[in-house]
Amino acid sequence: MSDFAVEFDNVTKKFGDNVLFEHFNFNIRKNEVVSIIGPSGSGKSTLLRILMTLESIDAGMVRVQGESLWHMQKNGAWLPADERHLRKCRGHMGMVFQHFNLFPHMTVLRNITEAPIHVLGQSKEEARANGMELLRTVGLADKADAYPSRLSGGQKQRVGIARALAMKPSILLLDEITSALDPELVDEVLEVIRKLAAEDAYTMMLVTHEMYFAREISDRVCFFDAGQIVEEGPPEQIFNAPNHERTRAFLNSFLNI
Amino acid sequence: MIEFEWNWAFAWEVLPLLLDACKITLQATLLGSVLAIVIGLLLALLRRSKWKAVGYTAYWWMEFVRSTPLLVQIYFLYYVAPEWGLNLSPMVTGVLALGMHYGAYLSEVFRSGIDGVDKGQWEASIALNLSPYRTYRDVILPQALRAMIPAAGNYIIAMFKETPQLSAITLLEMLQLAKIMGSENFRYLEPFTLVGLIYLVLSLVASTAIRQAERRFPKEGFTLS
Amino acid sequence: MPLSEIFDVLSGGALVTVQIVVMALPLATFMAFLSGLLRLSDHRSLRWTATVYVEFFRGTSALIQLYWIYFVLPFFGISIDAITAGVVALGFNIGAYGSEVVRGGLLSVDKGQTEAAIALNFSPRQRLWRIILPQALVGMMPPFGNLAIELVKATSLVSLITIADLTYRAKSLADMTLQVEEIFGLVLVFYFVMAQVLTLCIRALEKYLGKGMDRGGLT
């Protein structure tokens, strides 16, 4: 059994003729919290989207909890993964989106219980009890019956987190979860993530522009640019003593705004 | 059960007659479109009137005409006009009914097209002291037209496809002719199928033409003078 | 003929018209969803079949379709009564227009909704029925309302294949009594009222389906 929760093995990803990355190798250990930082448009989010099966890969192998994601073995031969295989793999992961993507036609509680009931097969009572418990964790128990359109951005994102957690994933993928928020609402969302990171029960992969936050909660920070990891290491090293000129330039651009 | 197969000889016999009757269909469509455009513009302008009562009346007229069947409107004109001392031919009755019916639809297209023009254009026209006529002709309509073409074109195609209803007041257009040929020969298959195919071809050609017109419509430098 | 008697005769016709609407509307809805969904299918043959259906019924005229079904099908040994012919022709015709509404409605739902549904591991079928369709339905309601009115109007065509609907009775009465202004005026009002009632129903449905959603007309 692999020690890694996530493995990118020689992965190539293209959009048309545009090569996003080639021969990309990257691993995340179990229960490690990893932040990916880097310029916009460098394809950081694509890494998360490949894991969540929202984007396919063009070459190489991706493994999630030791299991190949985009390929399956049948009678000794490797075949492209079918929907059933993908659904099995997705069960390991939960994703929180930049734009929340809450279901607008469902109440907050139903947003959280819909998938546990219909995908995991939980009973309604069980799912509701779990859902209320999660809402209490993110501080929104009083909003259970509200529709998402009535919530602030920060509240929406906390529901987004609770919704992902309800599926009991072992890996959490957080895709710029504070980018769409007004500055004063960022903290309430980060507070929730801070608590989750402290539990040490999840493998977490964050794509973020919140440098201070990345520094605070990550075990490892990776600077991703032009299709490769330019530099990675413990947060102190990356933020205090970056080796690479590009990393330094990028971090400086953040300090200057 | 009667053995029934497509009879080419009969089909070839009725086709020229149908194509001849198609001229009547096209004539009704063309005249109906012209009338519909005039009525549509008029209604659109009335709905923008300063007097609320006028705008309201125009709105409910449009709503009423659009939510009642064309066929009943055709009958209404056909039966009621003589009572009012107007003896109209089936063609004239048909064109009037089509024009009034689709004028109501087109008024909505024109209205939203005109509303779609930036408010600043009206203000600039007032600032330049243009008359209302000049404002519409030189400033507003040229800009609104591009957005109106596809929607208006689709309604005219819809009108074309409703012309068979004029057979109900004995206008000898394609469907009426097909029905007569069918009942005389006890063979409805060929005439009705051919009429359907002629409509299919013509409406596909027309919708392609509209798409082309929309694409080729000049983005800049278009005027009505 | 006294006006009240005319009113009674026409009311009977209106009932027939309503019956045809009540039968054709579910058929049209079914055809609209079936073909609208098939046109988004991954299988090319299914997409093609649906496209041919839509183009064919939209490209030819409703009255011709009605005549074809009523006059031509019996020669192929398919005996069909006038009511069935009317319901089938109108249902298929309006359904073809509805197909475009369904397709457009489904495509208008934000892509993020599908992505969230994938991330929550819903099956493709669950994604469609639980996440995408309920949201798409709200936006489909106004154009569906217009199509429902088009259907009511189109039922007048069945008078031409001898069904004693509102239009048919109006014409017979007009031929008989020559009180043409009252008769046709009344008939127009009948149709207008039906259309308005239908519009109100659809608005209520839209509001119900859009509960909680920003676009559902909630303030």
Distance from CA of C168 to the nearest CA of B (A): 10
pLDDT of residue A1: 58
Residue of B nearest to C54 (CA): B200
pLDDT of residue A257: 54
Total structural domains within chain A: 1
Distance from CA of B42 to the nearest CA of C (A): 23
Residue of A nearest to C211 (CA): A105
Our measurement of the distance from residue B128's CA atom to the centroid of its chain's CA atoms, rounded to an integer in Å, reads 36
The verdict on a CB contact (< 8 Å) between A147 and C118 is no
Query: Which structural domain, as residue segments, surrounds residue C7?
Result: 3-209
Q: What is the pLDDT of residues A13-43, one digit of tens each?
A: 999 889 999 999 999 999 999 999 999 888 8
Tell me, yes or no, if C108 comes closer than 8 A to chain A by beta carbon: no
pLDDT band for position A253 (cuts 50, 70, 90): confident
- Average pLDDT taken over every residue of chain A: 93
B142 inside domain? yes
Q: Does residue B134 surpass a pLDDT of 80?
A: yes
Of A54, A101, A147, the CB nearest to C113: A101
| Residues of chain B positioned with their CB less than 8 A from the CB of C187 | 72
Average pLDDT of the segment spanning B92-112: 96
Of A87, A104, A150, the CB nearest to C123: A87
Q: In whole angstroms, what is the distance from residue A118 CA to residue A121 CA?
A: 5
Give the phi and the psi of residue B86 in degrees, each rounded to 5: -105, 115
Q: Does residue A200 surpass a pLDDT of 90?
A: no
B47 inside domain? yes
Average pLDDT of the segment spanning A53-68: 94
Q: Does residue B3 surpass a pLDDT of 60?
A: no
C15 inside domain? yes
Comparing CA positions, the residue from C82, C86, C102, C94 lying closest to residue C40 is C102
Tell me, yes or no, if C193 comes closer than 8 A to chain A by beta carbon: no
Q: In whole angstroms, what is the distance from residue B209 CA to residue B206 CA?
A: 5
The verdict on a CB contact (< 8 Å) between C118 and A104 is no
pLDDT of residue C219: 34
| Residues of chain C positioned with their CB less than 8 A from the CB of A52 | 115, 118-119
The verdict on a CB contact (< 8 Å) between C192 and B161 is no
Total structural domains within chain B: 1
Q: Does residue B218 surpass a pLDDT of 80?
A: no
Q: In whole angstroms, what is the distance from residue C169 CA to residue C7 CA?
A: 11
pLDDT band for position B1 (cuts 50, 70, 90): very low
Q: Per-block average pLDDT, block size 10, for chain C (219 residues)?
A: 91 96 98 96 95 95 95 86 96 97 96 97 95 95 96 97 95 91 95 96 92 56
Comparing CA positions, the residue from A136, A185, A125, A130 lying closest to residue A157 is A185
Residue C118 near residue C51, CB atoms below 8 Å? no
Distance from CA of A238 to the nearest CA of C (A): 31
> Which residues are CB-neighbours of B191 under 8 A, at least 6 positions away?
B14, B18, B177, B178, B179, B181, B182
pLDDT of residue A55: 94
Q: What is the pLDDT of residues A98-111, one digit of tens each?
A: 999 999 999 999 99
Please write down the HEC assignment for all residues of A86-121: HHHHHCCEEEECCCCCCCCCCCHHHHHHHHHHHCCC
A132 inside domain? yes
Can you tell me the ipTM of this complex?
A: 0.92
pLDDT of residue B225: 65
Residue of A nearest to C129 (CA): A118
The verdict on a CB contact (< 8 Å) between B71 and C76 is no
pLDDT of residue C218: 37
Query: Which structural domain, as residue segments, surrounds residue B73?
Result: 19-216
CA atoms within 13 A on the CB side of A192: 26
Q: Do chains B and A touch (3 or more CB pairs under 8 A)?
A: no
Total structural domains within chain C: 1
Q: What is the pLDDT of residues B41-75, one digit of tens each?
A: 999 999 988 999 999 999 999 999 999 999 999 99
Residue of B nearest to C168 (CA): B72
Q: Which has more pLDDT, A112 or C42?
A: A112
**Owner of token pair 């997409």:** C47
* CATH number for C90: 1.10.3720.10
Distance from CA of C217 to the nearest CA of A (A): 13
Q: What is the pLDDT of residues B177-211, one digit of tens each?
A: 999 999 999 889 999 999 999 999 999 999 999 98
Query: Which structural domain, as residue segments, surrounds residue A134?
Result: 104-168
B209 inside domain? yes
Comparing CA positions, the residue from C79, C101, C81, C84 lying closest to residue C27 is C84
Residue B198 near residue B11, CB atoms below 8 Å? no
The verdict on a CB contact (< 8 Å) between A87 and C214 is no
> Which residues are CB-neighbours of C40 under 8 A, at least 6 positions away?
C47, C103, C106, C107
B223 inside domain? no
Comparing CA positions, the residue from A162, A80, A167 lying closest to residue A117 is A167
* CATH number for B107: 1.10.3720.10
